[in-house]
A and B are shown apart, each in its own frame.
Chain A
Amino acid sequence: MNEIEKIKDALKSSNAEKIVAFVRKESEPREVLKVLSPNEVDKISFSPLSLNNPAKLLMQINGKVAVVAKGCDSMAIRQLIKEGKLKRENLFIVGISCKGVVDYRKLAKFVNLSEVNDVELNGNDLVLKLKNGEKRIPFLEVVDENCLYCGHPTPVIYDVLIGEPREGKRDFSDIEQFERLSREERWNYWISQFERCIRCHACRSVCPLCYCEECMVDPSNLAVSPMSTPEEKASYPRILGKTVNARDNTIYHLLRVLHHAGRCVGCGECERACPMELPLRMLERKLEKVVVEIFGYDLNEDIPFFSKLDIVGD
């Protein structure tokens, strides 16, 4: 039985009211996330182009949900359970031991995407089934760079596991290398990246951990109610406006990333969503390194990082 059939079987055994899974997008070789009812299980698909993280979608669905989750997706789900945003008993998790996903934009450089019918991983090669024939690309050349540093390819929480468990690693070599640059070089690098940002807020919108109704980068407050006083509304702190320039964008990204200390699960959705290809994971990984090295925190601990800091503080 192939991987997709196994996933379908697992989903069928779940008794969930809804299914969050990957479905092949029309007219493109990648999968997108859909919410399906149990009788639509046959629509699902899965491939190295099942890129996205379903965790955020789960937060908007009531009742029992079955979900297909890769290693990093399961990390996000576990983190949201830890933070009280999801209930374990409402979830049926079909975990997939993940070999890594493809960077879709990289793939587009190797092949005309409209020619691709199917994609599968075979050994170290990505095999593209084309309209005419087949094309093999070494997986390393098109893999999402983020997957090279993956700490948890095997789901950390699941009801059914599909595939053989595989080892993750903790590798900050890229960050260490960057840290060796001079302060000025690092500054110039980041400014040259941030100045490109168009502040579409896609990174925030896709991040499973950016679920706040009230975000400090917004100029006014979504959590406003009919009872909010004029004084409250008038004094809502405006940390930065909507202007786009290297300075404001830097503040935006630094503020955002700081809220992920000890929380970022490393799914890479921020970077994947960024239309301007900002190296956002590098920021998150730097923070992760700090959390590990200075605070000795491990994401696998049951208690959230900020709560632990409070306890230590007391």
Chain B
Amino acid sequence: MIYEGEFLKDAISKLLADGYRVFAPSRVGDFHVFREISSAEEADFNYILPRNSAKVAVFPQNEILIEYGDWIERVPMEEKRIAIVGVRACDAKAIKLLDKHFLEGFVDPYYKSRREKLLTIAIACNNALINCFCQSLGINPRKPEADVVVSEIDGRVFVSADTEIGKSFLQGFNLRNENEEELEIKKRFESEELKMREIRVDVEKLKKSFDSPYWKEVAINCKSCGVCTYLCPTCFCFDIYDEGEKRGVRIRTWDSCQFPLHTLESSSHNPRAEKWQRLRNRFYDKFYYTLRKGNYYCVGCGRCIDFCPAGIDIVNAISEVR
């Protein structure tokens, strides 16, 4: 359907009025970050990809699991509904992957409390960035998987909803049906591939190359920082620790498999003491280990390439494995 006006901004105003916590791209200097906003003016949609991923809305960087004194005093849970507005196809797909991780097996109640009340409004991509490669992972950047999808094509705003929650949200908007020509335009738009990089994943080769010296070579300049994992929309590792001796909070925070402290045991044994082992772990996690869950855990957003201070490139590293 077609909306006359700024759909995303109007959607934010409605969501805020409906009592949602709204996460949207917000401009900081010359770039955008996904963060919670309190008015439609704080959002800005003049971007291709925000620096951080939309996972902050469902998996915040820090959250309290338990408040304690002598014993447990409170277990906080998200009570409000949450909306992510302006998510791209890559980040939207990543949320589905996070769902698998946090909701299969043991159900993570904190994640669930946010996820079950989540509304996602995605925006189709008109352009790709230099390190985008989602298409080669089977994602159509022009047809994101979300509750509501917005595509801006030649000045027209197309809005569609595939899920019940999306459809019911759209009922509050004045939308008109597309005419024949517009339907054709949209169809063409969705079937046109964007020009972007491609990753070649050869699982058998990965399996054979695990002990290859190649990984030391790839990792030689790795700084063991957390940029790749913290910007990654599918990375889910976390730490739990207590803050406060007599009374305080048990906190969960993001953690990174690239930090040597992530796996360091009290005995001083560290199963991945070397940085090349940790980097290999991340690459295999994205393209090999997680196949047991049925998916690659990479959505081709390219953030880890754009912002790796060592210039390490997952597309090259995986495609050229030997």
Contacts and interface: CB of A to CB of B under 8 A. Distances in A.
Nearest to A248: B62
Contacts of A60: 220
Given A220-B261, A241-B253, A273 B309 contact: yes
Nearest to B51: A275
Contacts of A241: 241, 243, 251, 253
Contact of A114 (B30, B130, B268): B130
B247 to A, nearest CB: 16
Interface stretch (B3-11, B154-162, B184-192, B221-229): B221-229
B311 A244 contact: no
Contacts of B31: 105, 277
Nearest to B311: A32
Given A26-B313, A202-B225, A226 B267 contact: yes
A152 to B, nearest CB: 22
Interface in B207-234: 220-221, 223-227, 229-231
Contacts of A25: 311, 313
A244 B61 contact: yes
B310 interface: yes
A269 B309 CA distance: 8
B61 A33 contact: no
Nearest to A240: B243
B225 A198 contact: no
Interface string A38-58: 000000000000001000110
Contacts of A276: 28, 33, 51
A200 interface: yes
Nearest to B260: A222
Given A28-B130, A224-B268, A277 B28 contact: yes
Contacts of A196: 28, 33
Interface string B303-322: 10001011101011000000
Contacts of B229: 200
Interface string B233-275: 0000001010100000001011110011100101110000000
Contact of B309 (A199, A205, A242): A205
Given A25-B313, A26-B316, A242 B51 contact: no
Interface in A208-259: 218-220, 222, 224-226, 228, 233, 241-245
Size category, B interface: 35 or more
Most buried by B among A56, A202, A222, A233: A202
Contact of B62 (A113, A219, A242, A277): A242
A242 B261 CA distance: 12
A275 B227 contact: yes
B268 A226 contact: yes
A34 interface: yes
Given A28-B130, A206-B309, A269-B309, A201 B261 contact: no
Contacts of B33: 196, 276
A271 to B, nearest CB: 11
A202 B264 contact: no
A26 to B, nearest CB: 6
Interface in B61-112: 61-62
Given A27-B313, A27-B316, A198-B226, 4 more contacts: A219-B261, A241-B251, A275-B227, A276-B28
30 contacts: A27-B315, A34-B220, A52-B311, A57-B221, A109-B30, A196-B33, A200-B226, A200-B230, A200-B231, A202-B225, A202-B226, A202-B309, A204-B225, A205-B224, A219-B241, A220-B264, A222-B261, A224-B264, A242-B241, A242-B251, A243-B243, A245-B62, A273-B225, A275-B51, A275-B227, A275-B231, A275-B303, A276-B28, A276-B33, A277-B28
The 8 closest A-B pairs by CB, nearest first: A32-B311, A205-B225, A273-B309, A205-B223, A200-B226, A242-B253, A202-B225, A275-B307
Interface of B: 28-31, 33, 51-52, 61-62, 130-131, 195, 197, 220-221, 223-227, 229-231, 239, 241, 243, 251, 253-256, 259-261, 264, 266-268, 303, 307, 309-311, 313, 315-316
